[in-house]
Amino acid sequence: MQRGHEAVSINKICLSFRRWALVLFSFFIPFAAVSVPARDIERSGFILVAEIKGAIGVAATRVVADAVAKARGENARYLLIQLDTPGGLVTATRDIIQQILASPIPVIVYVSPGGAHAASAGTFIVYAAHVAAMAPGTNIGAATPIELGGLPGLPRPTEPKRDDKDKTAVPTEATAQRKALNDTIAMLRSLAQLRARNVEWAEKAVRDAATLTAEDALKEGVIDVVARDIDELLTKIDGRKVTINSVEHTIATRSIARTVFEPDWRTRLLGVISDPNVAFILLLIGIYGLLFEFWNPGGLVAGVVGAVCLLLGLTALTTLPVQYAALGLVALGIALMITEAFAPGLGILGIGGVIAFIIGSVFLFDPAGADIDISVSLPLIVGSAATTGALALFVLGAAVKARRRPALTGAEQMIGSVGEVIEWSGLQGRIRVHGEIWNARAEKPFAPSDAVVVVQREGLTLLVASR
Q: Which residues are catalytic?
A: 120, 161
Tell me the C-alpha to C-alpha distance, in Å, between residue 234 and each of 152, 251, 257, 301, 456. Answer: 45, 9, 11, 53, 87
Cα(466)–Cα(454) distance, integer angstroms: 9
Phi–psi pair at 432, nearest 5 degrees: -110, 125
Residues 6 or more apart whose CB falls under 8 angstroms from that of 427 comprise: 441, 442, 443, 444, 445
Cα(240)–Cα(252) distance, integer angstroms: 8
Cα(384)–Cα(363) distance, integer angstroms: 15
Taking 3-state DSSP, the helix, strand and coil percentages for the chain, each rounded to the nearest 5, stand at 50, 20, 30
Q: At what angle do helices 378-390 and 348-362 cross, to 10 degrees?
A: 150
Cα(170)–Cα(73) distance, integer angstroms: 53
Residues 6 or more apart whose CB falls under 8 angstroms from that of 432 comprise: 419, 420, 422, 438
Cis peptide before 113 (omega within 30 of 0): yes
